[in-house]
Structure formats: C-alpha cells, structure tokens
Structure 1
Amino acid sequence: MTAGEDFSPPLQEYSGLPRGPLSERMPGQAVIEELLASHQLDPPRGRLGRLFGVRPLGVETTPWYWGALGELEVGRILGSLGPEWTVLHAVPVGNRSSDIDHVVIGPSGIFTLNTKRHAGQSVWTAKGTFLVAGKRQPYIRNSVYEADRAAKLLSAAVGRDLRASAGIVIVGAKSVTVKEKHQTVAVLTPRQLVRWLTRRSPVLTPQQVAIISAAAVRPETWKRNPPVLQVPGLVASEFAALGRIIDQARRRRIGWALAMLLTAFGLLSGVLPTLLAGSLLSP
C-alpha cells in the first residue's frame, strides 16, 4: 500500500485516531501480569527476612520484573510521539500467551518493537547474528516473524496489503555494537528510537493511519478468540505496590551493609592504634 491509496468505502468512515481496548493497555502489561502471577508462587518472607531486606522476588520471577522495567522505559519514550501516532503496548497475538511488546503506527509506517533489557551487558549484532555477553540469542529471527505476523493480521483486517518494520530496543546495556545492519530489523538504543521512527519519509496518509489504527486497537484483529483483558489500572496498582516492597528491601540491604562497614571501621580505628601503641612501647 502506498500513501494516498484509497481503502474500501466502509473503512473510509473512520476519521481521527480511534481508541479501543488495546489502546488502554500499559507498557509491559503482559510481562507484569506474568510477574504478578509468578510472584504468588514465591516463598513468603518471614519477619527476619523482611527486617534484613531479603529479596521478595524468586529466581524465576526476577527476570519478569526487569523485563517490565525495560518495557516501561520504552513506553515512556514512545509517549513522546505526536498525536498523529498510535502506540499500542503488550498486544496479545497468536494462540498462546504471546504478545508484541509495542505496535506503533504513524506517517512513516507500521512498526513492531521488541524490548530487551540487558543491564550492564555487552550486545553485539551483525545481520542475523545477535550476541548478549557472547551468547547467541534468537532476537533477529523472532523480530522478523513478529513484524510479518503483524503485517498479515492488519492486512486481513483492512483488506489491503501492508508491511511492518521490526525494531529491537536494547535497554540498559553496557554497550551496543551494530557491526552490520540487518536488512529488515533495526537494533536500537532508547535514545535512537524516536529518531528512527520519525526521520523516515511518510508512507501513510492521516486517513490510512486512522484506518489501520482502528483495526489495530481491536483484540479480534490479533487473536481469533481474544482473552478477557485485565484492567490496566489494577495491574499498575499491584505492580506499584510490589515495586515499593522491592525498593524497601533494597534500601534495607544497603542500610545493613553500611552499618556493617561502619562497625568494622569503628573496630579497626579503635584496635589498630592500640596495637601500634603496644608494639612501640614493648621492649
């Protein structure tokens, strides 16, 4: 489809950027829902555990939390796009619990974004190869599949052939090295994201953006039998409450560590002078 191409008459009734069930979902909502469900299986902390700041998340639950933080950061960045853009988060797709982290529709096209948080690690990519701390990851292949799937589903919904571009947004990495660009998948840092989206030549008219967005916000576009969606406000509230518990535990661990250091420093500062004095006065 090219800019200015007409759609069928029934779809031309749409004007402006519509809102629907999927437009209300918060960034990272699918990951947060998995986190909250998984956290129910974490062993509860006892009184001493809470006192000493034992981590409230288990080994299997922690990656969900970090993943949610990454998607929230990317969501905040996408929130800076202008009103001519439609941004959807955590779009349920397929027959299982899969979702697309972010679907973005605007003048420069349709985009599927996959957020990956790799705090403090080195990322290296060249064409179809993607390494995190030297370990190969299937991110390129998955992103190609995700964009193709989104284009196919949206095309069926609007009755025109559409294309979608794929992006992988790397959050928190120590370094991101793109040795050689992939033909269809862009590997980006958060700082590069908005420029990558907005500096392209326009390919969709405002009417086309509105029509595609009207299809994209409908859960039925993405899944034959869409699930009952949880209320974003409730999910956000539970996540915020969990975040406060995590932050409190971290502060307590830091407090105990500082207390131990100060205690050790105090003991050394009192003992060393005594030992030195004794050695100097001894015959």
Structure 2
Amino acid sequence: MQRFFGVSPLGREAEPWYTGALGELEVARRLAGLGPGWYVLHAVPVGSGASDLDHVVIGPTGVFTINTKHHRGQNVWVGARRILVNGQRTDHLRNAAYEGKRTSKLLSVSARMLVDVTPIIAIVGARRMTVRVRPYTVAVLREFELVGWLQRHPVTLTPEQVQQLAALAAKPATWQRAPEIESVDHAAFERLRRDIERARRRRVLWVTLSIAALPFVAISTVSATVSAIP
C-alpha cells in the first residue's frame, strides 16, 4: 500500500548516504570525460576504518583528491576559510584539506618521493554558488567545471610518472588497507534508485490528482449546502 501511494523505500537515516552517492555518481560521470592519460579511482578506502576518498585523479597536471558535496537546490557561499550552505557553516574545507594531506603522505611513502596533492571540493546540484574569496589550499568547483579545470591546470607530471603513481594508487596496500576490499553492489544501488524514482512519480501523480479533484469537491460541497437550505 505504501508503494502504491509513492512512499519512498529509503529510510530517513539512509537519505544523506543516498544523496551523497548520487553526487559521487554525477562527478564520476563527469570525470569519465578526461580522456586518455588520466586515471581516476572512486571510493578509495583509507586506513582501517570506514572512511574513503570519493575520487582520486592522477594525470599530466598532477594528483587530486575530490570531495563531492551534493547540495541540490541549495545556495552555497564560498569564502577564504569557510563554506556556507543556506547560511549554515560547514566543515567542507577542513575535511578536504585533510584528505589532500593524507593522500600526499600515503602516496609519497609508496613512491619514495614527495607527491603533491591538490584537494578539490566538487559542489553538485547547487542552485547558486557565490565565491567571495577563493580558498588558498582547496579548489572549490561546480561539477560541470571539473574536467576543464583539471585539463587547464599546469602540466607537472610526465606520462611515466603518471603511470607509476596510478599503479601505486591502484594497490590497496598504499592506503593501508587489507588486500581484499568489499566491492560496491552497483546493481543493488541502481535498483534502489529506480524504486525511489518510481515512488517520487507516484507522489507527484497523487498530488496532481488531488489538486484536480478540488473543484469537484467544492462544487459538491456547495450543492449539498444549497440542497440543505429550506
């Protein structure tokens, strides 16, 4: 019955995860346009806990970590030291900077040389993004700006260096994880996304039908009232 009336199959606790996952998928789709000579890793597990890096990009213009933030329909304000979403302060800059430093440390140890890493925050779906002052250590970009920005960045790595770093990044041991990493069930996620979209369409249909029925309800009410007058 709940499915018939368009109730979402997603629990409230899981909504932030689902929204974040949609943002990561959109950024992954964009990064696929980088072309040959670029290597992109998604959802890279780091350490022994549950934390991961949304995306790691390695190419001629360097190494980048991308922290995806899905703020669909919201207003984002960017300053030198903080990011506000609908007026609320966030930890986006601090978290992204930490990811960049951590990635630089781990890749530098594996490569036995200093590997500079540029952290990026990818803002997905925002209604408006106002940049008052660009942060000094973290790049903040809209999702549609990513590929062009990465490709226009100054070239810093040779093709051989890119391949070497990409090979190291592909090894779980680089990130201090156990060799076997649980894979993501993409098919299950796609099924969930289809169920949620169907539920959304049903809700829209029921609202539309309810609005369309209002005039008839009003006419029926008036008619009943008139009939009741002696």
Name the TM-score, length of structure 2 as normaliser.
0.92
User: Which amino acid in the other structure matches residue 204 of structure 1?
Assistant: L
Residue 87 (structure 2) aligns with: 134
Residue 259 (structure 1) aligns with: 209
2:41 counterpart of 1:91: no
- Of 81, 99, 102 in structure 2, the residue corresponding to residue 149 of structure 1 is 102
Structure 1 residues 45-64: Cα deviation after superposition (integer angstroms, max 9, x where no partner): xxx21221112112111111
Matches for 1:163-182 after TM superposition, within 5 Å: 163-182=116-135
Percent identity for Structure 1 against Structure 2: 47
- The answer on whether the counterparts of 2:59 and 2:162 sit within 8 Å (CA) in structure 1 is yes
User: Which amino acid in the other structure matches residue 93 of structure 2?
Assistant: I
Decide which moves more: 152-161 or 107-116. 152-161
- Of 122, 132, 148 in structure 2, the residue corresponding to residue 195 of structure 1 is 148
How much has 1:260 moved relative to structure 2?
A: 1.2
- Please give the secondary structure, in 2, of the residue aligned with 1:88: strand
Structure 1 residues 80-133: Cα deviation after superposition (integer angstroms, max 9, x where no partner): 001100000000002211000000000000000000011111111211111111
Decide which moves more: 211-220 or 53-62. 53-62
Distance 1:83 1:269, change over 3 A: farther
Structure 1 residues 123-155: Cα deviation after superposition (integer angstroms, max 9, x where no partner): 112111111111111111111110111111111
- Please give the secondary structure, in 1, of the residue aligned with 2:132: strand
- The answer on whether the counterparts of 2:8 and 2:195 sit within 8 Å (CA) in structure 1 is no
CA distance in 2, matches of 1:64, 1:74: 15
2:3 counterpart of 1:50: yes
Decide which moves more: 244-253 or 166-175. 244-253
Residue 184 (structure 1) aligns with: 137
User: Which amino acid in the other structure matches residue 122 of structure 1?
Assistant: N
Residue 237 (structure 1) aligns with: 187
CA distance in 1, matches of 2:148, 2:6: 41
* Higher alpha-carbon Rg: 1
2:172 counterpart of 1:219: yes
CA RMSD of superposed structures (Å): 1.8
Matches for 1:110-129 after TM superposition, within 5 Å: 110-129=63-82
CA distance in 2, matches of 1:198, 1:269: 63
Residue 198 (structure 2) aligns with: 248
Name the TM-score, length of structure 1 as normaliser.
0.76
- Of 132, 138, 162 in structure 2, the residue corresponding to residue 209 of structure 1 is 162
**Which sections of structure 1, spanning at least 5 residues, go unmatched?**
1-47, 279-283
User: Number of paired residues?
Assistant: 226
- Please give the secondary structure, in 2, of the residue aligned with 1:103: strand
CA distance in 1, matches of 2:202, 2:98: 44
CA distance in 1, matches of 2:127, 2:18: 19
How much has 1:204 moved relative to structure 2?
A: 0.2
CA distance in 2, matches of 1:226, 1:173: 37
CA distance in 2, matches of 1:108, 1:217: 19
- Please give the secondary structure, in 2, of the residue aligned with 1:51: coil
- Please give the secondary structure, in 2, of the residue aligned with 1:147: helix
CA distance in 1, matches of 2:194, 2:82: 38
CA distance in 2, matches of 1:245, 1:84: 37
Residue 100 (structure 1) aligns with: 53
